[in-house]
Amino acid sequence: MKYKKGYKYKLVRDVGVLVAVKPEQLVRTQFIKLTKRGMLTIRSGYTWNGVSGPVKDTNKNLKASLVHDALYQLMREGHLDHSRWREADKCFATELKIGGVSRFFINMYMLGLELAKGKYAHPDNMRTTYTI
C-alpha cells in the first residue's frame, strides 16, 4: 500500500459528525457530504494527513484532523467559500475538546491555525485526495 506524499490515513468506515458549518445547499463529493443542517459525512476510503505541524497524531486529535481536512478540502474545491476557514477551525477546536484535548493544547492548535489564516483552505492550494 502506498499513499501520495502527505496522506497518512485512510478511513475504513464512514464517519458522521454534526458541524457548525452549514452550506446554503447540499454539498456532495466522492467522499464528503455536508448537508444544509451541518451533517458532515466522510466516506470510507477517504485519505487525509492527520494533524499538521510539529504535533503527534493521537486518538484525541485524529478525528478533529479528519473533520478539519475534509472541510478545508471542500473550500479548496470551491464547494464552500474560502472565507469560511475560521468556521472550519472552530469545528476543529470543538472536536479536539470532545476528544479530550486540554484547553492549553487547543489554544496552541488554534494559534497555529490563526497564523496560517486559512492558507491551506484556499483553492490555490488544491491537492487531490487519493485512494487505493
Instruction: Write out pLDDT tens, residues 74-96.
Output: 999 999 999 999 999 999 999 99
**Looking at the domain assignment, is residue 2 inside a domain?**
no
**Looking at the domain assignment, is residue 106 inside a domain?**
yes
State the residue range of the domain holding 111. 9-45+53-125
45: cell is: 476510503
**Looking at the domain assignment, is residue 1 inside a domain?**
no
pLDDT at residue number 3: 39
pLDDT at residue number 130: 43
Q: At 54, is the pLDDT very low, low, confident or very high (cuts 50, 70, 90)? A: confident
In the block, cell 500500500 appears at 1
Task: Report d(CA 52, CA 109) in Å as an integer.
Answer: 9
CA distances from 96 to 45, 109, 124 (A): 23, 9, 27
**Looking at the domain assignment, is residue 78 inside a domain?**
yes
Query: How many structural domains comprise the chain?
Result: 1
pLDDT at residue 123 greater than cutoff 90: no
Q: Compute the average pLDDT of residues 47-62.
A: 90
**Looking at the domain assignment, is residue 81 inside a domain?**
yes
Q: At 124, is the pLDDT very low, low, confident or very high (cuts 50, 70, 90)? A: confident
pLDDT at residue number 114: 93
